[in-house]
Amino acid sequence: PVLHGYFRSSCSWRVRIFALKGIEYDQVPVNLIKDGGQQYAQQYKKLNPMQQVPAVEIDGITISQSLAVIQYIDETRPGTPLLPSDPKKRAQVRMISDLIASGIQPLQNLSVIQKIGAEKVPWAQHFISRGFQLEPILKETAGKYCVGDEISMADVCLVPQVYNAEFKVDIEQYPTIKRLNATLVEIDAFRTSHPSCQPDTPD
């Protein structure tokens, strides 16, 4: 697989969790700031008409939404399953993943924040805090991880979002989110996929 992504992109980080499956992959950096945003280059637009990261070339196709990539990997590769076999738990994993991937993260996207201007920090704080009303949901579903005691797609979504949130809101007010994140960031796959450890991470 080839991952076209950006070191600080939380969506790209979700996909770098290839590491949980022990999958080797190549990375092609797409700098969202340099040259006015390399995602807008014609060459990249051919790969991903939405001009967003990540885009993953795998098995002869290109997939461009992180949750779609994760679910495809889960369905086609052995290793740690990222969706539980139990339908109720699987629905909970998808619910939490969607709450983060659709309800919080898009409102923090660089393309959105650039439009907000001077109000970008209060804007980010408001929507992260609103999204982290996920706390009581996680209090109900969590065991060691977001849903029970097995790592899932929900955990893969949570860690990048907490990393982004820590620059803007006080995580102490969300004890379940804080506890889950503290456990997850100690796992090798989350460490190696961290934004500080990528080929395009600045010195």
Mean predicted lDDT score pLDDT of the chain: 94
Instruction: Dig out the tokens for 31 from the structure.
Output: 């700098």
d(CA 104, CA 190): 20
What's the distance, Cα to Cα, between the start and end of the chain in Å? Answer: 26
Q: Is 32 helix (H, G, I), strand (E, B) or coil?
A: coil
How confident is the model over 104-149, as pLDDT tens digits? Answer: 887 777 777 778 877 888 888 888 899 999 999 999 999 999 999 9
Instruction: Tell me how many degrees the CA angle 199-24-196 measures, rounded to the nearest 5.
Output: 30
Dihedral in degrees, nearest 10, Cα atoms 124, 127, 130, 132? -60
**Secondary element (H or E) of residue 192:** helix 188-192
pTM for the whole structure: 0.93
CA-based nearest residue to 8, from 53, 69, 40: 53
If one compares 199 and 118, the residue with the highest pLDDT of the two is 199
Instruction: Dig out the tokens for 16 from the structure.
Output: 């770098």
Could you tell me if 32 and 110 are in contact, meaning their C-beta atoms sit under 8 angstroms apart?
A: yes
User: What domains are defined for the chain?
Assistant: 2-80 (3.40.30.10), 87-189 (1.20.1050.10)
Tell me the CB-side half-sphere exposure of residue 60, using CA atoms within 13 A: 0
Mean pLDDT computed over 162-181: 94
